Amino acid sequence: MKKVESAIANNTASGNGWFKIWDEDYDNSAGKWCTEKLIDNNGHLSVEIPSDLASGYYLVRPELLALQQADKTPADPQFYVGCAQVFLASEGSSTPANTVSIPGYVNMSNPAMTFNIYDQPMKLPYPIFGPPVYTSTSKRGLELRSDQQMEGLKPANCVLENDNWCGIELADYSGETACWNASTACWAQCTDCYNSAGPTGSKNCPIWESKCKGIQDACNAGDFNGPPNAGKDLTPPFVLASDLPAPVSTSAPESSAVVSTSSTPASYSSTVLSTSSTPASYSATAQGCTESSASATSTSASSATSEGSTDTCGSNNGGLTCASGLCCSSHG
């Protein structure tokens, strides 16, 4: 994590100030890498943010290091990172002193970058990299903090969220022309929902698609007043990992330290700075744009669908579909 003056500015991430709140590599007692445990839990991981941190804006960087190519010459350790912009409401006042710079906190001379996961037995423990995990001092300010979030607030008229996309409620309308204009505007937002979907997928976009279909059907039926269910929040409730069905387990040979399926090794070292993620900004296509098909999807390397993201790059050759909420890449 890194405390910043503004979480939406484009010049605050690089440089010093980053501190670590959690990490995990190989768990000897479980006989699994962190990533294997993550897969066992349907891709969900919870990390508690230290309670004594000062209130304010923070950048959060989940980071995973893939080691399946680290033994090659030259070594090719592969980082997979994310970024979240959050506002931390806290009564704490602590600022970690042991921080590092990104980029710069790790280089190829670090043994963690060339660790061989194929050694039998592996040369454990894994030499974890980066700063030590910040330990909360449990000290709080003498009075309540007055900081209030001013950036990245959810728009009042946002009725559906999908990642950082926000579906904006259509203005009240009456009359045939206004009804069809509203239908056009709704479909434009639907297209934007699919096209802006990230690696976590477009799971909520079909909900907006249904809203647009309802408006279109009403216009066809001569019901020109709307929108239907104006202002209703359509975003599904958040589901805890503990409420999800148990994943289907797959067994691997006992002699193997790597759990993999074809070209997608699952043995990784993972450093996660935080998994709390609050979208800091929203986008919505302006109403009144040209009507487009409800089934429009992203033309990027990973195409979003209601079931998740289909990878179309690298060694997968478009052969993998990742469940919503999981990251899909050419190396798993």
Q: pLDDT tens for residues 51-105?
A: 999 999 999 999 999 999 999 999 999 999 988 999 999 889 999 999 999 999 9
pLDDT at 320: 40
pLDDT at 10: 86
Q: Is the pLDDT of residue 36 over 50?
A: yes
pLDDT category, 153, cuts 50, 70, 90? confident
> In terms of pLDDT, which residue wins out, 237 or 206?
206
Euclidean distance between CA atoms 200 and 92, whole angstroms = 32
pLDDT at 244: 61
Q: Are 171 and 184 in contact (CB under 8 A)?
A: no
Euclidean distance between CA atoms 8 and 285, whole angstroms = 20
Query: Does pTM surpass 0.85?
Result: no
Distances (CA, A) of 88 to 2, 51, 61, 67, 240: 11, 10, 15, 33, 21
Euclidean distance between CA atoms 163 and 151, whole angstroms = 17
pLDDT at 18: 97
pLDDT category, 238, cuts 50, 70, 90? confident
User: What DSSP string describes 79-109?
Assistant: EEE--EEEEE--SB-B--S--EEETTS--TT
Q: Is the pLDDT of residue 131 over 60?
A: yes
Q: pLDDT tens for residues 277-308?
A: 333 333 333 333 334 333 333 333 334 444 44
pLDDT category, 142, cuts 50, 70, 90? very low
